[in-house]
Structure 1
Amino acid sequence: MEQRLDFITLSTPDLDAVRAFYRDGLGWTPLLDVPGEIVFFQVGHGLVAGFFEAGRFAADMEGGGAPAAPSGLTLSHNVASPAEVDAVVARAVAAGARPVKEPKKAAFGGYHGHFADPNGVVWEVCHNPGWSVADDGTVRLGPAE
């Protein structure tokens, strides 16, 4: 198996709330939206996030899937500046997110804040001066240069 991730699919008990949060609140554009079933958003180069209605998710797993209860998971969104961290977190909260950690200086030398979406999925919004992506998509994590 290649070291690659193409889809992240999250079960959601309230698809309408998730759609409203990401599409209307954060301004994301759906890649595919099937009312009552699933909504997909392209979230990166070749990467899609899907929010699958919990009952349909369970049926698709034929009883083998976990219930809709995210735990030990953080999705991260890196931005260009601490001011942008503040703006993104504020927009998410205005759209209905629950604040988890107010933006502040991070132990790794950057700046970050956290919020939870309508499912309880925690997002970190981060300015990390050691984060970069090369033209070929290779990520570099390390001290700022």
Structure 2
Amino acid sequence: MDPRISLITLGVRELERSVRFYRDGLGWPTSYEPGQGVAFFKSWGTVLALYPIDKLAEEIPDGSYQPQPGGCGITLAHNCREKSEVDQVLDMARKAGATIRKDASDTFWGGYSGYFCDPDAYLWEVAYGAFPIGEDGHLILP
């Protein structure tokens, strides 16, 4: 198996609200049209999908899968090329309706980061300094 994450799907309570947050608030590109049932957002390397959480639960028909928005122990991350971008992205998220969980500050690992939650309480870290970002937008790992 190739080490690759192609798509991340977030189960959301209100698809239209979440689309507005990511598309209009954060400026993520999408070809989503109302009524499509799922929204796909292009990013550099991985596709982010938004899907109604009740429909996501139906994917496992025996009822054993009961996802809860934002309660899954996952942090998504957006790494920035410059330290100042962290504050800019957090401000953009705040204006889009995000809840800021931690204002940006210097970190124990020598970087700079802050956290916000999207409308469904998915936690995002906005960070600078952990890894450089290549020209193609991917992190450069040691």
When the two structures are superposed, what TM-score results if normalisation uses the length of structure 2?
A: 0.86
Displacement of 1:17 after TM fit? 1.4
**Number of residue pairs matched?**
139
Question: CA 1:7–1:33 in 2, change beyond 3 Å: closer, same or farther?
Answer: farther
The separation in 2 between residues aligned to 1:21 and 1:84, in whole angstroms, is 19
The letter of the residue matching 1:108 is: W
> How far did residue 99 of structure 1 move?
0.5
Unaligned runs of 5+ residues in structure 1 are none
Measured at CA, do residues 31 and 107 of structure 1 come closer, stay the same or move farther in structure 2, by a change above 3 Å? Answer: farther
Taking the TM superposition and a 5 Å limit, the aligned residue runs for 1:1-145 are 1-33=1-33, 35=35, 37-45=37-45, 47-62=46-61, 63-70=63-70, 71-128=72-129, 130-133=131-134, 139-141=140-142
Q: Is the 8 A contact 1:85 1:126 kept in 2?
A: yes
3-state SS of 2:103 partner: strand
- Long gaps (5+) in structure 2: none
Range with greater deviation from structure 2 (54-63 or 70-79): 54-63
- Counterpart code for 2:49: G
Q: Do 1:103 and 1:112's aligned partners in 2 also have CA atoms closer than 8 Å?
A: yes
Give the Cα–Cα distance (whole angstroms) in 2 for the partners of residues 118 and 41 of structure 1: 16
Q: Which moved more, 1:47-56 or 1:34-43?
A: 34-43
Q: Percent identity?
A: 32
Q: Give the conservation status (yes or no) of the 8 Å contact 1:15–1:36.
A: no
Which moves more between the two structures, 29-38 or 101-110? 29-38
Q: 1:93 to 1:35 in 2, by over 3 A?
A: same
1:134: how far off? 7.6
Deviation of the 1:65 alpha carbon: 3.2
Q: How far, CA to CA, are the matches of 2:60 and 2:3 in structure 1?
A: 23
RMSD: 2.1
Distance 1:68 1:38 in 2: 18
Q: Answer with 59-68 or 8-17: which moved more.
A: 59-68
One-letter amino acid matched to 2:103: E
Shift in Å at residue 16 of structure 1?
1.4
How far did residue 64 of structure 1 move? Answer: 4.6
